[in-house]
Amino acid sequence: MATTDESRTPAHPPAPERATLGLERIVLHKPLLWLAIAMIALSIVAAIGFIFDPRETLGAPLWAKPLKFGLSITLYSLTLAWLIGMLKRHQRLAWWLGTISATFLAVEIVIIAGAAAIGTTSHFNVTTPVSTTLWSIMGTSIVVVWAAAILTAALLWRHRIPHPARALAIKSGLIIGIIGMGLAFLMTSPTAQQLSDFQGIAGAHTVGLPDGGVGLPLVGWSTEAGDLRIPHFVGMHALQLLPLSALLLELLARRARPLRSPLVRRRIVAVLVTLYAAITGVLTAQALMGQSIVRPDATVIAVTSVLFAAAASAIAIVVVTQRTKLTQ
């Protein structure tokens, strides 16, 4: 029987594909997901303590540290759970790396929250044999989590991500994030003052003054001296902020024609990655110089201004060039 064109044409043409971010196919790593849920609960408890418990340690609210670490571990766990779920190869190894990370992050936060509950500090505390043992366990946990992050990054680096901008953001975020995590090791050595007049604390995050001075609300970053927690925090959270920037560009591409080109989005992400890495470097240098984040000198202001201006100019050139091509 002859086949007519009408018989080959479907009665109802298929609907056009909807643009998606491709996140609906991701299976989250369960142990990390459960850790994130537990950290949300802990953060709520710590927030209540932060508001209603007037006790302090080293001049900071007692519950500030459990609150900050609870929120930070929530973000890290959710991000790592998502990234591990992306892998199509070496899934068993990735699952174990995620589970090890979840386990040792849980160990760390239990010690931090436990120290707050009894009214003492956890970090750098070697005043008693018990506190020394707990600080050693924390230090070991940090190293294990860091090593697991490096191995996970190696697996993800070899994984093919079909979106060029997203791939660059994720892989660059992993590298900068691992460097940011590694900056914590700069805080673990005792200062000269601690060595000359040992009081049971070995290590510090403040540069130029003892820990415990005036700091910014909640985060506690020193307003009087350098603070290594700042580049540590900023660098570590590249793991969230850079992939989010790529996802935001994908959303904006639905309305902005120049951003619909994957190559354009990748170039913009490359500029953002460069800026983020440079700012992390500036914050590290500023902290090591003993300079407060709220009192930058002329050099830091000039360098930072140039970096942001250069990044803005580069992004503008990329967008304008693409817009010109589309109008020709």
**CATH code for the domain of 134:** 1.20.120
In this structure, the answer to whether residues 276 and 325 fall within a common structural domain is yes
11 in any annotated domain: no
18 in any annotated domain: no
Q: In angstroms, what CA-CA distances link 113 with 70, 217, 270?
A: 9, 20, 39
What token pair was written down for 22?
């491709």
Beta bridge partners of residue 201, listed in sequence order: 125
327 in any annotated domain: yes
Percent residues over pLDDT 70 in the chain: 90
Largest Cα–Cα separation, the chain = 100
The domain boundary residue, chosen from 136, 160, 184: 160
Number of domains in the chain: 2
Asked whether the predicted pLDDT for residue 200 surpasses 70, the reply is: no
175 in any annotated domain: no
What pLDDT shows up at residue 205?
83
Question: Which residues have a Cβ under 8 Å from the Cβ of 22 and sit 6 or more positions away?
Answer: 162, 163
Asked whether the predicted pLDDT for residue 240 surpasses 60, the reply is: yes
What's the domain range around 144? Answer: 27-160
267 in any annotated domain: yes
Comparison of pLDDT for 8 and 188, the residue scoring more: 188
pTM, full prediction: 0.85
